[in-house]
Amino acid sequence: MRIIIVGANGQLGSDLSLILSKYNPICLTHKHIEVSDVQSVKKIFKKYQPQILINTSAFHNVALCEKLPEEAFRINFIGVKNLAENALLYNTTLVHISTNYVFDGNKKRPYIEEDIPSPINTYGISKLAGEYVIRYMLKKYFIVRTSALFGTHLCRAKGTNFVETILKLHKENKKIKVVNDEFTSPTYSLDLAKQISVIIKTSYYGIFHASNHGFCSWYNFAQTIFEILGIKKKVIPVKAENFHPELKRPAFSALENRRLKELGLDQMRFWKDALREYLKNKGYL
Ligand SMILES: NC(=O)c1ccc[n+]([C@@H]2O[C@H](COP(=O)([O-])OP(=O)(O)OC[C@H]3O[C@@H](n4cnc5c(N)ncnc54)[C@H](OP(=O)(O)O)[C@@H]3O)[C@@H](O)[C@H]2O)c1
């Protein structure tokens, strides 16, 4: 299989590069490709003619997306459109990573693939636009929606991940205030990379939800990190409206891997088990 990974030095891209190494994937960083530049994308497709291209690139700092909506659409929509146009031309299967933030958060039960997206912030709207352009143009695609990633290689867009942010605050002896009225499914990027390696071997094209099982509030997520590490630390619960009043985020954005389960492909485990392994792999346990 000739596979290209776009964003190969990112949080998920690094784990994908590792998990797919038996295929000798072509690992492209931002230095090699600018997805929003038509010529740059054309050149890559012409040179490698990939059978599969996995796009992990995104403009996904939620606060920055509000400040720079054109930039969010340039990468999350135009960039994806460029990839889709070339995928069509070269008969490439496009694997695109999307987000739980395409939903509005009003459901109160984990979202399944059939639920109607209705994003409430610029990040979610631009990512949904990316999904739509793929669905409109291609038949051979996998849109993989995931949530709250944490991985050994830090998220490049954010310079960290939630687990490391919490542990840093603890190390610096700072008060830890965490939102307790937003719920999500924390997901280990290594698990997601393994799940993607299973999906791409099939021809069950379409949308997949792929998150670790279960969900929690960010407050509970922080508490669980300390619980697993056996650290006694007070975590202070705060309301989202006080913590980030300027930002709209879905209150409930947990995902259910309904389609993976129905197809017998679901490899994801409970989020606390994944978190324990992450902490072990990082040498904290
Ligand atoms: N992180 C999360 O919690 C989360 C949750 C749900 C869904 N997602 C989705 O999961 C995907 C992967 O996230 P991640 O945490 O692995 O992100 P990441 O660590 O920020 O990695 C993104 C990669 O894409 C590259 N990139 C950014 N803009 C690009 C462009 N215009 N052209 C080419 N390459 C570009 C980045 O390179 P540079 O850093 O050098 O620019 C980086 O290598 C994203 O699509 C995101 O929307 C993430």
| The pTM of the whole model exceeds 0.85 | yes
pLDDT tens, residue by residue, 83-113 = 999 999 999 999 999 999 999 999 989 999 9
Asked if 194 and 155 touch (Cβ cutoff 8 Å), the reply is no
What pLDDT score does 48 carry? 98
**Residues 79, 82, 85, 86, CA torsion sign:** negative
Pinpoint the alpha helices (H) of 172-237: 189-199, 218-229
Look up residue 77 and give its two tokens: 């929509």
DSSP per-residue codes, 69-127 = HHHHHIIIIIHHHHHHHHHHHHTPEEEEEEEGGGS-S-SSS-B-TTSPP---SHHHHHH
Tell me, using a 6 A CB cutoff, whether residue 152 lines ligand 1: no
Query: What mean pLDDT is predicted for residues 39-56?
Result: 98
Test site for ligand 1: of 60, 71, 150, 189, most ligand atoms within 8 A of the Cβ: 60
Ligand 1 centroid from CA 231, angstroms: 32
**Residues 216, 219, 224, 225, CA torsion sign:** positive
Which residues are CB-neighbours of 62 under 8 A, at least 6 positions away? 101, 121, 123, 247, 249
Comparing CA positions, the residue from 217, 212, 211, 221 lying closest to residue 252 is: 217
The C-alpha atoms of residue 236 and residue 222 are separated, in whole angstroms, by 10
Comparing CA positions, the residue from 214, 229, 230, 221 lying closest to residue 276 is: 229
Tell me, using a 6 A CB cutoff, whether residue 149 lines ligand 1: yes
Specify the 3-state DSSP secondary structure of 141: strand
Q: Regarding beta strands 26-28 and 52-55, do their DSSP bridges make them parallel or antiparallel, or are they unpaired?
A: unpaired
Name the β-bridge partners of 109: none
- All structural domains of the chain, each given as residue ranges with its CATH number in brackets, are 3-161+186-214+254-270 (3.40.50.720)
Q: How confident is the model at residue 130 (pLDDT cuts 50, 70, 90)?
A: very high
Q: Regarding beta strands 216-217 and 183-184, do their DSSP bridges make them parallel or antiparallel, or are they unpaired?
A: antiparallel
pLDDT tens, residue by residue, 206-243 = 999 999 999 999 999 999 999 999 999 999 999 999 99
Tell me, using a 6 A CB cutoff, whether residue 110 lines ligand 1: no
Question: Annotated catalytic residue: which of 123, 141, 188, 278?
Answer: 123
Tell me, using a 6 A CB cutoff, whether residue 212 lines ligand 1: no
pLDDT tens, residue by residue, 232-282 = 999 999 999 999 899 999 999 999 999 999 999 999 999 999 999 999 999
Asked if 44 and 57 touch (Cβ cutoff 8 Å), the reply is no
Comparing CA positions, the residue from 281, 213, 285, 206 lying closest to residue 18 is: 281
Look up residue 251 and give its two tokens: 């209150």
The C-alpha atoms of residue 225 and residue 206 are separated, in whole angstroms, by 34
Tell me, using a 6 A CB cutoff, whether residue 165 lines ligand 1: no
Active site residue 123: yes
Task: Count the neighbouring beta carbons within 10 Å of the beta carbon of residue 197.
Answer: 17
What pLDDT score does 278 carry? 98
Asked if 124 and 89 touch (Cβ cutoff 8 Å), the reply is no
pLDDT tens, residue by residue, 177-199 = 999 999 999 999 999 999 999 99
